[in-house]
Amino acid sequence: MMDVKRVISTIERKYIINNLKKEERVDGRGLWEYRDFKIDTDMVASAEGSADVSLGETRIITGLKYDVGEPFPDLPNEGVCTIMAELLPLASPLFERGPPDEQSIELARVVDRGIRHADCVQTKKLCIKEKEAVYILFVDMYVINYAGNLIDCGGVSTLASLVSAHIPEGEYTENGIEWTGNYLTGEDIVNELPLVLTYGKIEDIIFSDPNLPEELVCDGKISVSVTEDKITSIQKSGAATFSLDEIRMLGKKSIEIGRELRNKLNFWQYKVKIE
């Protein structure tokens, strides 16, 4: 059992800050170093795509389901992709039962925006017949263990479950929508691979991938979503303020770290092959 507290003692807070000032982290990492990602995909037989992603001790299991419905009137030939997150009370004593709270909504929204504005999901390919029928994708994240930085873990988890997708392909006929016998896979629906990267800020020190104690003592966080060469969404949260120079630096840094992580994680290895 890990010692999880809602409030961190002053002495522990000082220890974390003093370490950061020496460019060291309490878990031995460098300032811009990520914990290890561990990814397993397509392990949920009932889902049309799934991913089990660990970032250090943080673990999120994401699944993809689909529905066929009418498109929005202003986007008659585009499908819909919705993202939801649930902070299960089994994941941490800090999480409580009940309807989604601010933290789970922020997680879902930040991940969703990162994906939405990056030209990641090809919504036009999710159209079965214009104005009549489109796919509605549900990507649902379930937090299994919470040890800081849910957003980055959730982003990778969502992307990996989309890449591992295998959705039955429908055809519009007189008798309704019928299965063609083929599947739409991750390769068909995913274009860009956006990553969301979160930084913590304590006093004037900024660092990547805050772990749980760092997250509990930090003044604030900033999450930057990036594709190969573009910034696609940013969310600042918590009470910290960032200078213009810091934000410029983080924009540049995010593209660099994003490229490195994207290469390392090699998402396309998780696409599902259907015979």
Q: Which residues, listed in sequence order, are joined to residue 56 by a DSSP beta bridge?
A: none
Alpha-carbon gap, residue 209 to 207, rounded angstroms? 7
Q: Which lies closer to another protein via its Cβ, residue 80 or residue 177?
A: 177
Could you give the angle at which helices 102-116 and 150-163 cross, rounded to 10 degrees?
A: 50
Local structure of 67: helix, strand or coil: strand
Q: Which of 20, 35, 42, 50 binds another protein (CB under 8 A)?
A: 50
Residues in the chain: 275
* Residue 106 or 119 with smaller CB distance to another protein: 106
Name the 3-class secondary structure at 149. coil
- What is the contact mask toward another protein in residues 185 to 224, using x (rule: CB under 8 A)? ----------------------------------------
* 63 binds another protein per the rule CB under 8 A: yes
Segment 162-181, which members bind another protein (CB under 8 A)?
A: 168-170, 177-179
Question: Is position 65 an interface residue for another protein (rule: CB under 8 A)?
Answer: yes
For residues 79 and 175, give the distance between their C-alpha atoms in angstroms, rounded to a whole number: 21
Rounded distance, CA 127 to CA 133, Å? 7
| C-alpha distance from residue 7 to each of 1, 4, 146, 196, 213 (Å) | 17, 9, 16, 27, 9
Span 129-158, contacts to another protein by CB under 8 A: 138, 140, 142, 144-147
Q: Which is nearer to another protein, 3 or 229 (CB)?
A: 3
Q: How many residues bind another protein (CB under 8 A)?
A: 42
Q: Which of 57, 188, 192, 246 binds another protein (CB under 8 A)?
A: 57
Q: Show contacts with another protein in window 68-97 (CB under 8 A).
A: 68-69, 84, 86, 88-93, 96-97
Strands 80-87 and 127-129: unpaired
Residue 116 CA to residue 51 CA, distance in Å, equals 19
- Examine residue 8 and tell whether it contacts another protein (CB under 8 A): no
Rule CB under 8 A: which residues touch another protein?
1-2, 4, 43-47, 50, 57, 61, 63-69, 84, 86, 88-93, 96-97, 99, 138, 140, 142, 144-147, 168-170, 177-179
